Each structure stands twice: as C-alpha cells, then as structure tokens.
Amino acid sequence: NVSNSWEQRDMQAVFHGFTDLGTLNAEGPVILTHGDGIRVFDVHGKSYIDANSGLWNNVAGFNHQGIIDALCAQARKFPGYHAFFGRVADTTVALSEKLIELSPFDAGKVYYTNSGSEANDTVVKMLWMLHRRNGQPQRRKIITRVNAYHGVTVATASMTGKAYNAEFGLPLPGFLHADCPHYWRFGLEGETELEFSARLARNLEELILKEGPDTIAGMFAEPVQGAGGVIVPAEGYFEAIRPILRKYNIPFIADEVICGFGRTGEMWGSVKYDMQPDIIVASKCITAGYFPMGAVILGKAFCDALMKVSEEAEEFPHGFTAGGNPLGSAVALKSLAVIEDEGLLGNVNKVSGRFMARLKKLGEHKYAGEARGVGLMGAVEIVADKKTKQPLPGHLQISERIANKALKKGLICRPLGQAIVLGPPFIITEAEIDQIFDILEETVDEVFADVGL
C-alpha cells in the first residue's frame, strides 16, 4: 500500500532539517532500518555504503558489538542520571579521567553536553563568565572564521560562516569572522603558502586591534574546517596566528567535533596542526555515533580561573539535563577504547594512503579544481575551469546531482557547495575504499554526460 509506505509516513510526519525539500519531494526520503559494517540498509533491503560515517561520527561502523554491549550493560546497571548539584554517575567520572588522560595538553576538568553545538555554546558562556567577573573589562566578542561550522544554536550559528545564517538574520552582533585559511581558493597570485598564512595572521591582528583586544572573549577554530568543505589549513597557519592570540591574551578554542579521536590520523587535529589550544571541544566520535554527547575539555589554567570565578558567583549557572548521562559515558569509554586500543586509529593511518591516492586521482578529472584532505576526510571541488577556479553555473547543481546519482547506486556521499565530501568510517578497508571511488568515478562521468559536458 503506497499511501501507507514508510516514505509516505515520513513525508507526513517528519520535518527534516538540512534537507533540500525540493529534492525530498521529487525523490522521496530514504528510510533506514539497520546497518552492518560501513553499510546501512533501507526498508526495501537496499544497501548503501555510507562514505560519510553518518555525519562523521559512526566511525566504528553501524553494528559494533563491543559498543552495543557496553551500552546494554550500563543500561542494566544505571541507565540515566544528571550531573547537577554535585551528583554524578561513577561512569561519568571515569570518562572524565580518560578524556583528561587522552587530551594533548595539561587538562583541568571536563564539562558535558548533548551535542557539539551545545558544547561550543557552553564555551561561549564560559568565556563570557570568565571575563565578567575577574575585574577585566567585559569581553563579549567571539572570533571564528569564514566557512567555519560550529553548530546551530543561536550563538554557534552566529559563529558559523555565512552559509547557514541568512534565513535567521544572524550572526548576532559581536560575532566576528576572520579569514578562511584555504590557500587554493584565497591565495593571491604569486603568494606562497607561508606568505598567505602570514597575511592572514596580519589580518587577524588588524581585526583584533580594530575591535579592541579587551573586547574579545576568545577565538574558535576547527583544525580542518569540515562542513566548510574539508579545508585543510595552509602551511604555517596556526603557527602564525597562535602568537597573536597569546599577545592579546585571547583564549584559543579547538573545535575538535569532527577531527577529535582520529579523523586526521592523529588522535587530535590540534596536535596534527600544532594549534596549542586552551580548550578542546569534542563530540561525534566520542561515542562513535551511538549516543548524543558533547564534551568541553578545559586546559588547567583556564579551568582554574573559571572555577575561581564560579565559586565567587556561587556556581557556573549552566547545564543540560542529560549532560554527562551514564549511558553516554559508558558508550564513550568503550568507543575511545575501540579507537585507541582496538586499532581504529591505526587503521585510519593504514588506509589513508589509499584514500588520498584515489581522491587525488578523482581530482585529475577535467572539472575537478582541487582534491584535498587528510587522514580519512577528503573533498573534491568541481569547477568550470581549473585555472580560473570558477564554479560551474549554479543551475547545474553539479555536486547535488553527483550525490543524488551516487545514492541510487548505493553510495552515500555529501555535496557541500561545489565540493563532494567523503569521511568514511575508521573501520574501512582498502577494498571498500576502492569500491567507493569506483562508484564515484562512474557517477561523475555519467553526471557530466547527463548535463552535456
């Protein structure tokens, strides 16, 4: 009965965010029932390789028995509690110790949320609180970068680059956007990568001076901009901006929501790119996508200062009912063990060479401008002309066409602007990487033939 199909029921009952509703109406939704390894299955039994790990997060695949067992065991022991009023589950304490041990800096304490957005939003409040109470002038302004993605709450959407903001009249005042460190796109004629990074650092200092250093609460940066289209930072970029932030005493926050726990081939993207942050924001892979969780790992110096201010104010007046939930904590402890001890991080490094080689090969396509990536994250940007780097006319919607056609062939990949973005699960094999790129190459050729190019 078609009118009672899962697809029909979805169309009547589910309001999908981040979904092209024109395409949804034309093509219908995909209703999933289960997963196996790197594949998910729809209600008709059709299988799809998910080359995006869900949303970067299902890194252990879709049916990892160890993580499922850890979740079930915790559910039987103590399935849910909050972390307010000085009460907290033992499992959450154990997870905090693990995160402090794993963190790449001298860490103080860990604060929990349900998502990456909430974690970044929480840090904004921490920065505001710190600067309100310690006798310094109010520091309210937040610096992020063009093409950043930090979330969808009102504050974190304001921190996110323009793309998702226009409909809401955001950003709020005081949310500033520095340059995007994408050398291929924004480097000047004849400028080396290091010169580009130095120019961006000068621009950042100018912005800070123009706004007034004492008005700036902090700067956030993703090690690799993910939703901005896998923008790997230009050589020397973080080395160039770090001293400027130090000079003006501006806390630096690494948004490791995508990069954290192995995506770049290092446990932390901030280590890979030598960011030396004061705070790390984590989410996604922390539970391998099996439970909603965000975590703010505070460097010791920042943590001590915030604790002092909070004590003076009696408390840090902020928290989420399910933040630090014991189910999520148990899932996180197991997921981190799987990544660290059971070889997932090792596998990222083992297969990354194959992934990057196939990505670069796709980048040789006549209409591919740049193939970029690191570890197991990559993008190929489609252009009308390799020299001018101009995009193909918008009405062709080339990346959407490629993703839609690939979906029909059983491959999930993501169109982001003019780019096709891939971020497969950490368990992927080289043979599976080949499968992904074989399908993608065939799809790209067919789509260009379809549009007559």
x/- contact string, 55-94, with ligand PLP (CB under 6 A)?
x---------------------------------------
Least gap, CB of 357 to ligand PLP (angstroms)? 26
> What phi and psi values does residue 40 have, to the nearest 5 degrees?
-120, 155
Bin 82: left if φ > 0, else alpha if -120 < ψ < 50, else beta. Answer: beta
| Closer CB to ligand PLP, 114 or 418, in the complex | 114
Least gap, CB of 369 to ligand PLP (angstroms)? 23
| Closer CB to ligand PLP, 296 or 398, in the complex | 296
Give dist(CA 204, CA 246) in Å, integer: 13
x/- contact string, 336-365, with ligand PLP (CB under 6 A)?
------------------------------
| Closer CB to ligand PLP, 272 or 358, in the complex | 272
| Closer CB to ligand PLP, 179 or 255, in the complex | 255
Give dist(CA 13, CA 222) in Å, integer: 35
Contact present, 279 and 254 (Cβ < 8 Å): yes
Give dist(CA 331, CA 286) in Å, integer: 8
Among 35, 116, 218, 425, binds ligand PLP (CB under 6 A): 116
Q: Euclidean distance between the first and final Cα of the chain, in Å?
A: 41
Q: Locate tokens 């920065």: which residue? A: 127
| Closer CB to ligand PLP, 38 or 221, in the complex | 221
| Closer CB to ligand PLP, 296 or 383, in the complex | 296
Among 50, 179, 222, 381, binds ligand PLP (CB under 6 A): 222
Report if residue 123 touches ligand PLP, rule: CB under 6 A. Answer: no
Among 58, 74, 103, 115, binds ligand PLP (CB under 6 A): 115
Least gap, CB of 136 to ligand PLP (angstroms)? 28
Instruction: DSSP for 97-143, please give it.
Output: HHHHHHSSS-EEEEEEESSHHHHHHHHHHHHHHHHHHSSSPP--EEE
Q: What is the footprint of ligand PLP within residues 247-276 (CB under 6 A)?
A: 255, 257-258
| Closer CB to ligand PLP, 176 or 392, in the complex | 176
Contact present, 286 and 336 (Cβ < 8 Å): yes
Segment near ligand PLP (CB under 6 A); pick from 99-107, 111-119, 304-312, 330-338: 111-119
Instruction: DSSP for 61-83, please give it.
Output: -S--HHHHHHHHHHHHH------
At residue 2, the 3 state secondary structure works out as helix
Checking 90-98 for CB contacts under 8 A at 24+ apart, the result is 90/326, 91/326, 91/329, 91/330, 91/333, 92/324, 92/325, 92/326, 92/329, 94/329, 94/333, 95/329, 95/332, 95/333, 98/333, 98/336
Among 58, 103, 117, 147, binds ligand PLP (CB under 6 A): 117
One-letter amino acid at 246 equals R
| Closer CB to ligand PLP, 50 or 222, in the complex | 222
Binding site for ligand PLP (CB under 6 A): 55, 115-117, 120, 149-151, 222, 226-227, 255, 257-258, 283
